[in-house]
Amino acid sequence: MNVTASGRRVLVSGAARGLGRAVARAFASNGDRVAVHFGSREEEARTTLASLEGSGHTLVGGDLAEPAGAVAVVDTAAEALGGIDVLVNNAAVNIRHPLAETPYEEWVAVWQQHVAVNLLATAHLSHLAARRMIDQGGGGRIVNIGSRGAFRGEPDHPAYGATKAAVHALGQSLAVSLAPYGIAVASVAPGFFATERVAPRVAGPEGEAIRAQSPFGRVGSAEEIAAAVLWLASPAAEWSSGTILDLNGASHLRS
């Protein structure tokens, strides 16, 4: 990369809250400039932006379910930052839809939404950002947020598990095709970790069972996931390109 451990231009999709916010903060604390993307949660995204260390950060809104929306997001981020060195594909939807309880029309709509946001938006942003990295010269980094559910199954969220598995496969394909340009691509596969969205579940009746999934007896934190993302985006992690890094506290072990 033509920039070293800091001073990079970073686009984080879905950074209004939760893991996206933690990732944006991790890069900002590292001395990078961050484009904070949001879909519909503008006020929360502004809170993320205001919490970032340093200067030169920017806010980028856009609907990633539409291909034109992905173009607008990347163009706006690159214009504000002066280019893109790192892309973190975090934006995702996760809607409960167990087959036995979900009417067919709803099933179709939920699958289409998951594919559009979780998979196609990741593919589109990766294409747009990588082409900019190629034109800029000096390489770059793409880190995808996958899921433990891609490996162990998600009976109540099958479209989520399936699209996250596809994101893992996409990342490995891009790792091979983009390596000649100095662009490393990796994915993380988090297990259950605490965010604002799941806080009621962790604090409620099912909290004990959720914590018991890991032999550590706790859930992960967004900051732990963000630290791994930051490392995978670092110059030191180039040889990890193509990896899918499990971050689940030994709650699911795969061979």
Residues with catalytic annotation? 147, 160, 164
Dist. CA 149–CA 205, nearest whole Å: 22
User: What tokens were used for 119?
Assistant: 């998979």
CA-wise closest residue to 12 among 196, 104, 32: 32
Q: Tell me, what DSSP letter sits at residue 180?
A: G
Beta bridge pairs of residue 140 = 183
Dist. CA 58–CA 81, nearest whole Å: 8
Angle formed at CA 241 by CA 147 and CA 193, multiple of 5 degrees: 25
Instruction: Give me the residue label for tokens 């260390």.
Output: 53
Dist. CA 153–CA 96, nearest whole Å: 13
Neighbour count for residue 236 (Cβ, 10 Å):
10
User: What tokens were used for 207?
Assistant: 């909290």
Dist. CA 221–CA 92, nearest whole Å: 18
Helix, strand or coil, per DSSP, at residue 252: coil
